Amino acid sequence: MNGVLIIDKPAGLTSHDVVNRARRILHERSIGHLGTLDPMATGVLPLVTGNLTRLAQFYTSSEKTYEGTIRFGLATDTYDADGEPTSPPQEVNLIVEEIESLASRFRGVIEQTPPPFSAKKIKGVPAYKLARQQKQVVLQPVQVEIKEFEIIAVEADCVRFQARVASGTYMRSVAHDMGRELGCGAHLESLRRTAVAEFTLEDAYTLEQLADRLSKGTPHPLEDVFVHPRKLLPDFPSVTADEATVARIRSGRTVNLLELSRARQVKVFSGQRDLIAIATRVAGTLFHPKLVLCG
């Protein structure tokens, strides 16, 4: 079972919980995910299965898109609604123009300190483990990029937003920092991821829908659930190899791909759906299979 499927993650589950449930549903041990979502967050969680788990290396810097809500007047230790308050609640009177002006300061390349309850490591230990043990967590600011950050609505003490960010950006930290700037505290009340790289909510299935497909006993219940392999890594051109070229690639040997002489990396297929390798150009029309996905 080699493929990529997109799960619409529910609130309350960790990304690892989703992977474990998918393993039980699909009866497949080899499953991973492309980018952690916090337990309180929902939305796009791409899963890679079988041999295609090895594609994860190409998605480590994937762009993400979110929509969510920031609640002002209360800061928490996790920077989101799952945390404990770190100060008494305050009444706030949000002014649209003030919020818009504040949001503009978070666009572009900025310095951001990750939340203490995060997967960032301190001397090899995830910060959240130290935070749970009530040990001091000192994380250094890192450079992140917020490509888009639009305020959709300001309602009482809440602000609804949409954001498109580079990998490594924490919207929880954005919420916390905005509250600090206003002097009233804030936390991320809700977050929904609407896209990761080329994957969107339109591609997504719930865990219940996935289980339902398999329970119906149809001949190919998951064919339209898995993302078509030709749609993966859209920046890489595709080529369909003949039998001799497939044999060379499977043995790790260099091949000649005349029609793709200008590409740096290409997806190599055997037939329409069988992605067998990611090949890298060596020189001219010669390509070396950097990643062989089947033997």
Concatenated DSSP letters for 105-132?
Answer: TTSEEEEEPPPSSSS-EETTEEHHHHHH
Q: Is 38 a residue of the active site?
A: yes
Residue among 8, 38, 80, 177 flagged as catalytic? 38
On whether the CB atoms of residues 79 and 213 are closer than 8 A, the answer is no
| Residue 236 DSSP label | S
What is the identity of the amino acid at 135?
K
Q: Residue 42 contacts by C-beta under 8 Å, 6 or more apart in sequence?
A: 8, 9, 10, 11, 191, 192, 193
- Structure tokens given for 251: 């043995």
Report the distance separating Cα 111 and Cα 145, nearest Å.
9
What residues are annotated to the active site?
38
